[in-house]
Structure 1
Amino acid sequence: MRLFSRWYPAQRSSAPELMDDPGSDRLQLEQTLGQFRLVNLLLSRIRSLLRRYVLRDMLARGVTHATVLDVGAGGCDVALWLLRAAERRGLSLSISCLDHDRRVLAYARRQVAEEPAIEVLDSSVFDIRGQWDYVICNHFLHHLNDQQVGRFLDLSYQICGRRLLANDLLRSHWSLFGFRVFAALLLHNSFARSDGVLSIKRGFRPHELQRMVERSAWTNSPQSHTDTTARVLRLAPGRVVIVASRG
């Protein structure tokens, strides 16, 4: 067990990321947001997760339209891909993309300016009100401390009608090594290289997320004992995922 424990940093880092600094360079921030598309395409597994837990779920239930909240949506590349993937399957979505950084919001709005099915919302996740069928987030949870993750899980239970899908980073030395190689080859002139390393150090081990889920409203509210399921998955390369569902 001691040998295996060395593969994982013992605790989450609390060091801030450069892109979260409101005074950081705008051009490098936008370059970082643009590079997220490549990271998401090659490393994140978010597309396969959305196909399985959103699109196939809609088809299996005979639902042709759904609403989606994408928390910490960045440049909206995930939302744009999801919308197109839904259209190819004869499905329609209304997607709300949430962020709280003015520079990120401006960039995101340019990316979706010609897409009426996607709206960009300026709000902290903890101030958001409304109802969506699916609440998704990709590489968002690690920006929160443990207490905030718990608050987010409780809030998502209130605003989510069907399913929460939260994809994030496994905190491991293997993940750090692999990302450093990837970043050295493909990520330049942005915050992505340094912030990516910090993101992994701020990431999670599966049992940590499982403990947070077990303490959340997804498993502890009166209704959760009858109509909800919540579990934590581990996927390669270096991903941990929360899937929590109603019905």
Structure 2
Amino acid sequence: MLEAVAVNLAERDTQAVEFMDSPNCDPVRLDRTYAGFRAVNAVVAGWHQLYRTLLRPAVVRGLNPTVLDIGFGGGDLPRALARWSARDGSRLRITAIDPDERAHRFVSRLPPTSGVEFRCAVTADLVAEGLSFDFVVSNHLLHHLSGDEFDGLIADSRALTRIRAVHSDIARSLPAYLAFGAATLPFFRGSYIRADGLISIRRSYTTAELRAVVPPGWRLMTQFPARNLLVFDQGGAHV
């Protein structure tokens, strides 16, 4: 845990690059990382709560909404959203996109999930196609983006969503860094989960930093543990 004590978290470390983002990373370790996301996100990402509070109000009205998940990684979030909505007696129709062909190859080997379509694409592709979705979501994406990419995501999200966009990411802090480092130390051997998770925290925004770059029309919310949420309601009306 020495690296957790010595790291400087005063500013975003935008120069640090996650191992899994390297085109030359070990493919076996990468697949183990994708597979491990389901367990990690179940503990830290809080999407079941977000589904209940921010998406389900439309689902239970029988609208069978459409959802765009941006940057699906291991595919666990869109698959979970599909399961939760099915249990509610409704169906989300989910399009999940990621520009990394390695992610697409990984999810293509998983059992198919009803209502979920995976595409190798970026948001600009969907805007160019004239598509729109009731909900646009992403998980652990914001900290990966450059300033221009962040602005592009925000603009594309507004163009693509009909009801609500929700971007959930880590809130950088020393307690979050120490807790993640300690909790993952015995687990996820042979993957990039621990190393890349610590880099992700170093790259992530504090709540104050994200507030400084949030454009008009977006709400900044927080969620336990150590989460920042960017929420946009089309037309300014809350569901």
Given that residues 149 and 212 in structure 1 are in contact (C-alpha distance below 8 angstroms), is that contact kept between their aligned partners in structure 2? no
Distance in 2 separating the partners of 1:10 and 1:21: 23
What does residue 40 of structure 1 align with?
Answer: 41
- Secondary structure in 1 aligned to 2:204? coil
What does residue 200 of structure 1 align with?
Answer: 201
Deviation at 1:172, TM superposition (A): 1.0
| Deviations, residues 183-214 of structure 1 (Å, cap 9, x unaligned) | 10222110111100110011111122223222
What does residue 53 of structure 2 align with?
Answer: 52
What does residue 226 of structure 1 align with?
Answer: none
Q: Does 1:90 find its partner at 2:89? A: yes
What does residue 13 of structure 1 align with?
Answer: 14
Letter of the aligned partner of 2:39 in structure 1? L
Given that residues 135 and 160 in structure 1 are in contact (C-alpha distance below 8 angstroms), is that contact kept between their aligned partners in structure 2? yes
Deviation at 1:69, TM superposition (A): 0.5
What does residue 119 of structure 1 align with?
Answer: 117
| Deviations, residues 54-80 of structure 1 (Å, cap 9, x unaligned) | 113433xx2431111110111211111
Given that residues 9 and 202 in structure 2 are in contact (C-alpha distance below 8 angstroms), is that contact kept between their aligned partners in structure 1? no
State the TM-score, normalized to the length of structure 2: 0.88
Distance in 1 separating the partners of 2:126 and 2:17: 24
What residue ranges of structure 1 are gaps of 5+ in the alignment? 1-6, 220-229
Letter of the aligned partner of 1:41 in structure 2? A
Letter of the aligned partner of 1:119 in structure 2? E
Runs of 4+ in 1 over 3 A off after TM superposition: none
- Secondary structure in 2 aligned to 1:166? strand
Given that residues 137 and 165 in structure 1 are in contact (C-alpha distance below 8 angstroms), is that contact kept between their aligned partners in structure 2? yes
Given that residues 67 and 95 in structure 2 are in contact (C-alpha distance below 8 angstroms), is that contact kept between their aligned partners in structure 1? yes
- Secondary structure in 2 aligned to 1:214? coil
Letter of the aligned partner of 2:77 in structure 1? V
- Secondary structure in 2 aligned to 1:51? helix
- Secondary structure in 2 aligned to 1:186? coil
Given that residues 171 and 203 in structure 1 are in contact (C-alpha distance below 8 angstroms), is that contact kept between their aligned partners in structure 2? yes
C-alpha RMSD of matched pairs (Å): 1.8
Distance in 2 separating the partners of 1:241 and 1:210: 10
User: Identity of paired residues, percent?
Assistant: 28
Letter of the aligned partner of 2:113 in structure 1? E
Letter of the aligned partner of 2:83 in structure 1? R
| Deviations, residues 112-170 of structure 1 (Å, cap 9, x unaligned) | x4334111111123333311110000101111022311211111000111111111011
Letter of the aligned partner of 2:197 in structure 1? G
- Secondary structure in 2 aligned to 1:185? coil
